[in-house]
Amino acid sequence: MPFTNFINPVLLSLGPVEIRYYGLVYVLGALLTLWYLEHHRKKGSFPLTKEENYDFVFYLLLGLLIGSRLFEVFWDPRYYLSNPLHFFEFWIGGMSFHGGLVGTALAGYLFCCKKKISIWQMADIVVIPVVFTLALGRLANFTNSELWGTVTNVSWCVYFPLAGEKIAAACRHPYVLYEALKRFAILGVLLFLSKEKFKEKLKPGTVFLSFVILENLGRFFLDFLKEDSHYLGFTPGQYLAAILFFLGLYFMFKFWKKEKITSIK
């Protein structure tokens, strides 16, 4: 039976201040990443101090916010030029996944270069809480009634009455819920690859690159169910997903070629 999404994206209103589910995801993601880094620091997995962990999370959060918003502005420049203050309203939504990925990767790279530590080792660790946060982010997108799917008559389709008359007129694929399920599944794969028994068998970067490959492969196919502009038959997200998918394969292949990964038994 179709579901009608009347979910209020605002969890709590304190006068003019609104606490939204979407904004809480960023806070939770930062805290979870910090906790996970501290967990590995105490295990002796990498040479960062507690204070440096805080700095690292700040770098990642800054890269995420700037990168995801800049990419979103690129896709819809007229909206942000006519509403420039919306650029800073990160808690409302309108954040590009691919921009966030590029932004955090660049921020992480700069931090690791500054501290002279392995970017691949850090990426393998940080990607675990990041993927979990990304999955929650898609659930928060659902509370925002954004990123709708295409019109469908499947029994689990969703009406989005808060998204405007045009969108609300038809039942649609819950695209963001598909994306959330995909990311939870990827998280399971990454946790499996992160087990201690694989530490000596997989080169640093394997876990992170597995995320890049699986995330963008899934994104490419799921975007056929997303309502979006198409250029030569594909959405902008599909073109970016294809580029990152092949980049992930390229770096993974370089790892295999340079030093073949020991087979897992």
- Would 57 be classed as within a structural domain? yes
pLDDT at position 106 is: 92
If residue 104 lies in a helix (H) or strand (E), which one and from where to where?
Answer: helix 97-115
Letter string b/e over residues 87-122, b meaning 16 or more CB atoms within 10 A of that residue's CB: eeebbebbbbbbbbbbbbbebbeebbeebebebbbb
Q: Quick check: 225 and 150 in contact, CB under 8 A?
A: yes
- Would 171 be classed as within a structural domain? yes
Pairwise CA distance, residues 148 & 74, whole Å: 20
Q: What is the pLDDT of residues 105-146, one digit of tens each?
A: 999 999 999 998 889 999 999 999 999 999 999 999 999 999
Q: Which residues contact residue 8 at a Cβ distance below 8 angstroms, ignoring those fewer than 6 apart?
A: 143
Which ranges of the chain have pLDDT less than 50? 260-265
Instruction: Please tell me the pTM assigned to this model.
Output: 0.87
Q: What is the pLDDT of residues 147-181, one digit of tens each?
A: 999 999 999 999 999 999 999 999 999 999 999 99
pLDDT at position 79 is: 64
Q: Which residues contact residue 179 at a Cβ distance below 8 angstroms, ignoring those fewer than 6 apart?
A: 138, 141, 218, 219, 222
Range of the domain at 241: 3-258
pLDDT at position 217 is: 97
pLDDT at position 26 is: 87
- Would 104 be classed as within a structural domain? yes
pLDDT at position 96 is: 77
pLDDT at position 262 is: 42
- Would 160 be classed as within a structural domain? yes
- Would 191 be classed as within a structural domain? yes
pLDDT at position 259 is: 55
- Would 263 be classed as within a structural domain? no
- Would 202 be classed as within a structural domain? yes
Tally of structural domains, the chain: 1
Q: Indicate the angle between helix axes 175-193 and 119-143, nearest 10 degrees.
A: 150
